[in-house]
Amino acid sequence: MTLQQLTYLVTVAECGNITDAAERLFLSQPSLSAAIHNLEKEMGVTAFVRSNKGVTVTQEGEELLSFARMLLEQADIMQEHFGVGKKRVPKFCVSCQHYSFAVNAFVEVVKEYDADQYGFILRETQTGEIIDDVASGKSELGLLYLSESNETVLSKLLRKSELVFEELFTAAPHVFINKDHPLADRKCITLDELKPYPYLIFEQGDRNSFYFSEELLSMLDMPKTIQVRDRATLFSLVIGLNGFTVSSGIIDRKLNSPSIIARPLEMEGSMRIGLIRKKNVVFSRYADSYVKALKKHLSID
């Protein structure tokens, strides 16, 4: 097995067929096919199912790809650290729940490593996809929360995916509402007071259960619920419908809206917001900078 073979494997998976991958790699199609076949034979797996339409990654191929991405990333980190080879294009990917402080930290990383070329990715996405992204090596880091209601299920899933959770801070539940909301003058808001208003939650796709919910309350707790996919839509509905959502209480008026305010929610429980990462993997310089920026915005020493 060589790093070159792993690069070939990842490229074929990204392209979805041998022909396009060969063109991207400046190889002949037979040479690329032979290299992939030799890797499959050496590893004892069938990474792809071939057809006239291209290739489909098998289940064991997904597992092999996860290790391939991780090894290639670690090789890049080693070369950057020791200054071997040509100057590399900055690349970094993080997957996170919908937190403004996660965006602020990402902005700082991009500014710090601004160059003629870079490839940065910020994925505000569903909880299950965050775990999948980090497990498969698509993202170097993930950002989500654990609580009493979801920790058992999510921790089991993290262990199965060989991921670890590193807590950044613990937040008390808060309500995000419009500054002109009828409850805006309350110092603390109760669940009963919120029942007449729409509860806005982030949709979780096929994993739409309270274990994967981005909000501390289950959708079953409130009579009116609206599911959305992105933060801008959610805040528009907070303003337009006097809706509310439940989160950490950390809000950024520049990234969100000056019309959105946070109020403490009177309920039991807390949100342990933290990072997920692969076990025993050295962070890239970009991931290190991102973690430092996160702690800065969260005022963590």
Residue 59 confidence (pLDDT): 83
Residue 206 confidence (pLDDT): 83
- The one-letter amino acid code at 207 reads R
Asked if 52 and 58 touch (Cβ cutoff 8 Å), the reply is no
Residue 301 confidence (pLDDT): 47
- The one-letter amino acid code at 137 reads G
DSSP letter at 205 equals G
Which of 38, 60, 82 is the C-terminal boundary of a domain? 82
Which of 48, 65, 82 is the C-terminal boundary of a domain? 82
- For the chain, the distance separating the N- and C-terminal CA atoms, rounded to the nearest angstrom, is 42
Residue 99 and residue 93: Cα distance in Å, rounded? 16
- Domain count along the chain: 3
Q: Are residues 191 and 245 in the same domain?
A: yes
Q: Are residues 127 and 145 in the same domain?
A: yes
State whether residue 238 is helix, strand or coil: helix
Q: Are residues 23 and 156 in the same domain?
A: no
Q: Are residues 130 and 204 in the same domain?
A: no
Q: Are residues 282 and 140 in the same domain?
A: yes
Can you spell out the DSSP letters for 37-51?
HHHHHHHT---EEEE
Q: Are residues 146 and 192 in the same domain?
A: no
Give the CATH number of the domain where residue 12 resides: 1.10.10.10
State whether residue 260 is helix, strand or coil: strand
Which candidate, 196, 203, 246, places its Cα nearest to that of 224?
A: 196
Residue 143 confidence (pLDDT): 97
Q: Which domain holds residue 238?
A: 173-268
Q: Are residues 199 and 158 in the same domain?
A: no
Q: Which residue has the tokens 């603390």?
A: 188
Which of 32, 48, 82 is the C-terminal boundary of a domain? 82
Q: Is the pTM of this model over 0.95?
A: no
Q: Are residues 24 and 71 in the same domain?
A: yes
Q: Are residues 282 and 146 in the same domain?
A: yes
Residue 123 and residue 102: Cα distance in Å, rounded? 10
Q: Are residues 64 and 147 in the same domain?
A: no
Give the CATH number of the domain where residue 233 resides: 3.40.190.10
Q: Are residues 117 and 131 in the same domain?
A: yes
Given a cut of 50, the residues of the chain with pLDDT beneath it are 301
Residue 301 and residue 298: Cα distance in Å, rounded? 9
Q: Are residues 151 and 277 in the same domain?
A: yes
Query: Which residues sit opposite 278 in a β-bridge?
Result: 163
Which candidate, 264, 239, 255, places its Cα nearest to that of 99?
A: 255
